[in-house]
Amino acid sequence: MTKQFIKELYSIWIAERPTQLAAALAYYGMFSFAPIIFVAVSIAGLFIENIDPASQLFQRLEQVFGEGISNLVQESVMSISTAPSSSSILISVISFLAIIYAASGLFYQLQFSLNKIWLVPIKEKGQTKSFIRQRLFSFLIVIGFGLLGILAIFINLLLAWFGSILQRLLGLNCTEVMVARLLAPILLALIIALFYKILPETKVAWRDVWFGAIITTVLFLVALFLAGIFFQYSSLNSALQATGAFTVLLVGFYYLAQIFLLGAICCRVYSELYGSRRLSNTS
């Protein structure tokens, strides 16, 4: 069973060349990550006072990836948030819509890539309506990321409160960082499974996405762990300039995109061999 799964996975990877889709995702990721962070932080700031989600994010990035990557991300986000004080309301609205459009580009490409993997046929008619619908759907996902930012902050506050209760009642030194490290893989797997489920423009059963989501989550965490070790203990961290950080970030997006698409192919192979599409393929 495992041998058949690996053989089918390998044949799809070689025949359909998802590495080209990963390269496109890396390109969109480089130009979309700053608008996505800006929109998410802006939405979170509308609902939460006395907490700066952007500062928390940049501190986490510096802890994991070092000062070079953190500064590059921070400068990219700040360049978007900086606007002339004399801008009119119309220009501000147009600028914000342009930021939303740029942020949605990554999710649009994600949907396109997943459609390719699931062999979704391109519609010959109604392409304009389909494009508008896909962009609107991508806008909603960007807004959803902002809501996820709010949820993450509330979860951190809840974990801090829960950890203090355990320490006071049971004497357990259970900090919110420890609990967050346990919950992070679960939340990441849920988000990835949701992407695999709702982004493709074809029917995908929930039971078909869990295996691929777990594989992707494990590979993501391993990749981020190794990247964190590399940046913390390598000499590049002190000498990394803007160009070097940009290149490293682009390569990182490329490998993460390959992992994401590998997980999507796992979902497809699982559905065809053991899942919801097994009967249709055997008939």
Least Cα distance to 113 among 9, 251, 265 occurs for: 265
Contact yes or no for 231/66 (Cβ under 8 A)? yes
Mean per-residue pLDDT, 246-255: 82
Buried b / exposed e along 237-258 (16+ C-beta atoms within 10 A): eeebeeeebbebbeebbbebbb
**pLDDT digits over 3-14, tens only?**
899 999 999 999
Nearest to 41 by CA among 28, 32, 52, 30: 52
For 124-144, how does the pLDDT look when each residue is reduced to its tens digit (9 = 90+)?
A: 665 666 666 666 666 666 666
Give pTM, 2 decimals: 0.78
Question: Is residue 42 a contact partner of residue 142, using CB atoms and an 8 Å limit?
Answer: no
Instruction: Say which residues have a Cβ less than 8 Å from residue 26's Cβ, sequence separation at least 6.
Output: 250, 251, 253, 254, 257
Pairwise CA distance, residues 34 & 103, whole Å: 8
More confidently predicted of 86 and 278? 278
